[in-house]
Structure 1
């Protein structure tokens, strides 16, 4: 075989291998989305099991800890699941098969879907301590996915909404859920907060969550989606602390202040980001 023949053969093999890997990635994302939907169905209690809020002895109920969101907060999962299904379909289209953005993002999204299903199962089977490393790993995976959306440009409005919007909403909510999950496990284990009151711990954790929200706004240059879901979760923490069985005015006020801080930071950064190209053009 000539040198040109070897080169052409190598090129064909590379193309075939890449195409096969792209198709495999697309299939894995779709299958992971299906498994996540099934897990969400089980977690809702519709399949005969317990809803997440009442599973594991009610450790994740709205009145279990000072930073537990009110029950309606979990309705955001319907939007997130819808976005994840939309992304699974979008990235599976023939025209998206070789898009570099999906090559870099697809497996991370698939991992998040499987971890989400694993988290639901850990709670459903009363393995509450196991839920903490699972949701922590989920958070890490989503942060990585978020960074990839920042580093790669969406090709159109559909990609912006389906990809960036879904990953952002998912990440913002999981930030709140992670804090609530850790607090629930500590409370269930009998942790008493080193003598500090529930109000103090509530304010401290909410302040951390608010700082994370501002950090996401900074890193995302004013991305709206993470702010929407994180603010949604913190708002329902405030509602639960003002009207639920476990009232805590200091925690509620801290949650409201955190929401305002995150929203204002996002708006300011987004306006600055929009002005930057204009200023550059004038110069």
Structure 2
């Protein structure tokens, strides 16, 4: 019971900090306003970030499932999952504070550690298709943090006026989209994870919408790679 209470409090704290960051807002700017200060082409349209509401709701269900089934399953595994989840919540809160108070270099460090933490949590679930629903909230969360990590990295590089080894901003963005696609397909092939791939598609469409005809190269690439992932969901043969 204590484990569930700590997990519940951690989730409530994350939701509260994320909401407060945009209502108060911290340091006079909302999370989105800071993101839109720089011309980062990998940033999706604002509506895409509604996925956070979906993630938080699914995590609430995930905690509820733990509360109902935790005592009948492996205690060590449940405690390990709880510890990873609580740590991920602390990292999420830390990222928000660092982002709003412009410690952008540190946001990269925190985001990367969050990514590793969620992957460790994700890896506690078996790969069998029959068990995929159990890891669904973590799949969607992990998928979004992959996207957010790449976007965060692009933001920090733009903040420091990095020239992308002489590559243009649109070309560098397409390379980032291609890397993201490779990650998504890796999880589809090796982990049979469709939900995570749908998150990438959602983000890519948002990137295309954000860039529109002004950055047609980026928009076209984002839609093309969305289609690649979409087709792969149906035709890619998965190992048994």
TM-score in terms of structure 1 length: 0.76
Encode CA deviations 1:149-168: one digit per residue, 9 max, x unaligned.
2358877xxxx54x421111
Structure 1 residue 120 displacement after superposition: 0.9
Cα 1:165/1:258, change in 2 over 3 Å? same
Structure 1 residue 88 displacement after superposition: 2.1
Structure 1 residue 64 displacement after superposition: 2.4
Give the aligned partner of residue 4 of structure 1.
none
Matches within 5 A, 1:193-232: 193-221=164-192, 223-232=193-202
Give the aligned partner of residue 92 of structure 1.
67
Q: Does structure 2 conserve the Cα–Cα contact (< 8 Å) formed by 1:26 and 1:97?
A: no
TM-score in terms of structure 2 length: 0.88
Cα 1:263/1:103, change in 2 over 3 Å? farther
**Once superposed, what is the RMSD of the aligned Cα atoms?**
2.3
Give the aligned partner of residue 53 of structure 1.
32
Q: Does structure 2 conserve the Cα–Cα contact (< 8 Å) formed by 1:227 and 1:262?
A: yes
In 2: Cα distance, 1:220 partner to 1:182 partner: 25
1:238 is aligned to 2:216: no
Cα 1:203/1:152, change in 2 over 3 Å? closer
Cα 1:219/1:103, change in 2 over 3 Å? farther
- Which ranges of structure 2 fall in alignment gaps of 5 or more residues? none
Q: 1:111 aligns with which of 57, 66, 87?
A: 87
In 2: Cα distance, 1:62 partner to 1:149 partner: 39
Structure 2 residue matching 1:53: 3-state secondary structure: helix
Cα 1:97/1:121, change in 2 over 3 Å? farther
In 2: Cα distance, 1:236 partner to 1:90 partner: 31
Q: 2:51 aligns with which of 52, 76, 82?
A: 76
Cα 1:272/1:41, change in 2 over 3 Å? same
Q: 2:145 aligns with which of 174, 182, 193?
A: 174
In 2: Cα distance, 1:263 partner to 1:103 partner: 36
Cα 1:217/1:98, change in 2 over 3 Å? same
Q: 2:217 aligns with which of 236, 244, 250?
A: 250
Structure 1 residue 137 displacement after superposition: 0.8
Q: How many residues align?
A: 236
Structure 2 residue matching 1:130: 3-state secondary structure: helix
Structure 1 residue 129 displacement after superposition: 1.4
Encode CA deviations 1:163-194: one digit per residue, 9 max, x unaligned.
42111110111111111101001111121222
Higher RCO structure, 1 or 2 (CA under 8 Å, sep 6+)? 2
Q: Does structure 2 conserve the Cα–Cα contact (< 8 Å) formed by 1:166 and 1:225?
A: no
Encode CA deviations 1:202-222: one digit per residue, 9 max, x unaligned.
11111101111101111212x
Q: Does structure 2 conserve the Cα–Cα contact (< 8 Å) formed by 1:27 and 1:92?
A: no
- Which ranges of structure 1 fall in alignment gaps of 5 or more residues? 1-22, 277-283
